[in-house]
């Protein structure tokens, strides 16, 4: 279930209340008149079946409640309520498959910020991967993949392309365009220092690692794994199975490839540099293609459901038009 806390101006709260009471997928509706301040208005609390959350939120946005009020979304992990169970049964589909698009948009917007923390994690991840290459340690490579923050902007770019949100696309591209060069530069400087002071392990030769040679040798499986990882990453972002994202991070070779680019430049190895650049390009491209394709299909299913809902007579209770949206952008 999804819990909504709605602060609505008094001229729209009654319409929102009647709308929510008419939904079979909504339960535990509570109305608190004049309970809100800054902004002033009434407060409505309710629980919505996850499958219908975006549909319900779409109607509330048509009432322009966010313009003068607010809608807060929280997930209910456990509920003991027969009314809530009936609401879930009313909404078609499975809760684990449902996409709450407002939550997806909010989470991706937060994860594409070019912040100090983002750059710090990028540098730390690249340096961890560099250490893994020096030591030929798959454990360190895996750790670097988990630490790397690059999937946030990649997911944000996928959402931006599907929803045609130019500002989000620019912010995502900016984070990637700045983050990777800074991480690669950090790897280059660290590798150059290690080479200069003779700190590399005895007998180290770039590209000879038994467990890390895959980083600069992209093949069919590089495309295949990156595509699967991009699909799984978006599914974990849009579903309740967010734990799958860790597996996605471990599957892709973006951070190790970035580390190898810096190391190859420090050691003057052109072949390794080209191989790592190709590996990085393959992974980034396939993740975005897979993510856009997955989101497009999910968005298409939601749009069909939304269009069907626009013909629902319950919309009349809130004075919303039947068969079309009151918002020009939906």
**Sequence spans of domains, the chain:** 2-95, 105-304
What pLDDT was estimated at residue 297?
94
- Contact between residue 70 and residue 6 where contact means Cβ atoms under 8 Å apart: yes
- The string over 127-161, giving b where at least 16 C-beta atoms fall within 10 Å of a residue's C-beta and e elsewhere, is bbbbbbbbbbbeebbbbbbebbbbbbbbbbbbbbb
Nearest to 187 by CA among 122, 252, 140: 122
Residue with the two structure tokens 């993740």: 287
What pLDDT was estimated at residue 98?
81
Mean pLDDT of 101-105: 88
Is pLDDT above 60 for 216? yes
Q: In this predicted model, what pLDDT tens digit does every residue of 3-45 receive, in sequence order?
A: 999 999 998 999 999 999 999 999 999 999 999 999 999 999 9
Nearest to 189 by CA among 254, 261, 279: 261
Strands (E), the chain: 2-8, 26-36, 41-48, 70-75
Q: In this predicted model, what pLDDT tens digit does every residue of 168-214 receive, in sequence order?
A: 999 999 999 999 999 999 999 999 999 999 999 988 888 888 878 88
Confidence category of residue 253, pLDDT binned at 50, 70, 90: confident
What pLDDT was estimated at residue 203?
84
What pLDDT was estimated at residue 18?
92
What pLDDT was estimated at residue 245?
64
Is pLDDT above 80 for 326? no
Question: Residue 163: which residues within 8 A CB-CB, separation 6 or more?
Answer: 105, 299
What pLDDT was estimated at residue 25?
92
Mean pLDDT of 222-226: 90
What pLDDT was estimated at residue 63?
92
Question: DSSP class of residue 318?
Answer: G
Q: Domain spanning 2-95 has what CATH number?
A: 3.30.70
Q: In this predicted model, what pLDDT tens digit does every residue of 34-47 receive, in sequence order?
A: 999 999 999 999 99
What pLDDT was estimated at residue 126?
97
- Residue 125: how many other CB atoms lie within 10 Å: 28
Nearest to 258 by CA among 155, 130, 132: 130
Mean pLDDT, the chain, rounded, equals 90
Is pLDDT above 70 for 328? no
- In percent, the amount of the chain with pLDDT more than 90 equals 63
Residue 238, class by beta-carbon neighbours within 10 Å (0-12 exposed, 13-18 middle, 19+ buried)? Answer: buried
- Contact between residue 315 and residue 322 where contact means Cβ atoms under 8 Å apart: yes
Confidence category of residue 233, pLDDT binned at 50, 70, 90: confident
- Contact between residue 227 and residue 158 where contact means Cβ atoms under 8 Å apart: no
Question: Residue 260: which residues within 8 A CB-CB, separation 6 or more?
Answer: 129, 133, 206, 215, 216, 272, 275, 276, 279
Mean pLDDT of 218-234: 89
- In percent, the amount of the chain with pLDDT more than 70 equals 95
The pTM assigned to this predicted structure is 0.86
Question: Residue 83: which residues within 8 A CB-CB, separation 6 or more?
Answer: 27, 28
> CA 193: distance to chain centroid?
36
What pLDDT was estimated at residue 88?
87
Cα distance between residue 278 and residue 59, in whole Å: 46
Is pLDDT above 80 for 239? no
């Amino acid at each position: 279930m999804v819990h909504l806390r709605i602060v609505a101006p008094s001229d729209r709260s009654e319409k929102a209340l009647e709308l929510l009471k008419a939904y079979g997928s909504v339960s535990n509706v509570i109305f608190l008149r004049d309970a809100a301040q800054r902004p002033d208005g009434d407060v409505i609390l309710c629980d919505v079946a996850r499958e219908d959350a975006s549909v319900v939120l779409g109607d509330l946005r048509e009432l322009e409640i966010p313009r003068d009020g607010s809608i807060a979304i929280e997930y209910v992990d456990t509920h003991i309520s027969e009314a809530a169970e009936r609401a879930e049964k009313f909404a078609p589909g499975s809760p684990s498959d449902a996409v709450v698009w407002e939550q997806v948009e909010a989470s991706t917007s937060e994860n594409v910020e070019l912040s100090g923390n983002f750059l710090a994690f990028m540098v730390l991840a690249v340096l961890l991967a560099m250490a893994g290459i020096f030591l030929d340690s798959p454990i360190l490579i895996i750790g670097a993949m988990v630490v790397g923050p690059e999937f946030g902007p990649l997911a944000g770019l996928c959402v931006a392309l599907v929803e045609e949100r130019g500002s989000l696309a620019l912010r995502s591209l900016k984070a990637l365009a700045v983050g990777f060069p800074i991480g690669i530069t950090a790897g280059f400087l660290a590798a150059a220092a290690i080479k200069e002071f003779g700190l590399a392990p005895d007998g180290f030769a770039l590209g000879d690692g038994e467990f890390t040679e895959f980083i600069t040798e992209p093949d069919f499986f590089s495309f295949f794994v990156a595509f699967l990882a991009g699909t799984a990453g978006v599914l974990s972002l849009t579903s309740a199975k967010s734990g799958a994202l860790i597996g996605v991070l471990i599957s892709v070779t973006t951070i190790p490839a970035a580390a190898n680019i810096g190391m190859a430049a420090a050691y003057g190895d052109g072949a390794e540099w080209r191989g790592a650049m190709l590996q990085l390009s393959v992974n980034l491209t396939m993740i975005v293609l897979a993510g856009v394709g997955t989101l497009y299909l999910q968005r298409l299913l939601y749009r069909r459901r939304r269009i069907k809902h626009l013909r629902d007579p319950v919309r009349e209770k809130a004075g919303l038009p039947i068969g079309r949206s009151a918002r020009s952008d939906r």
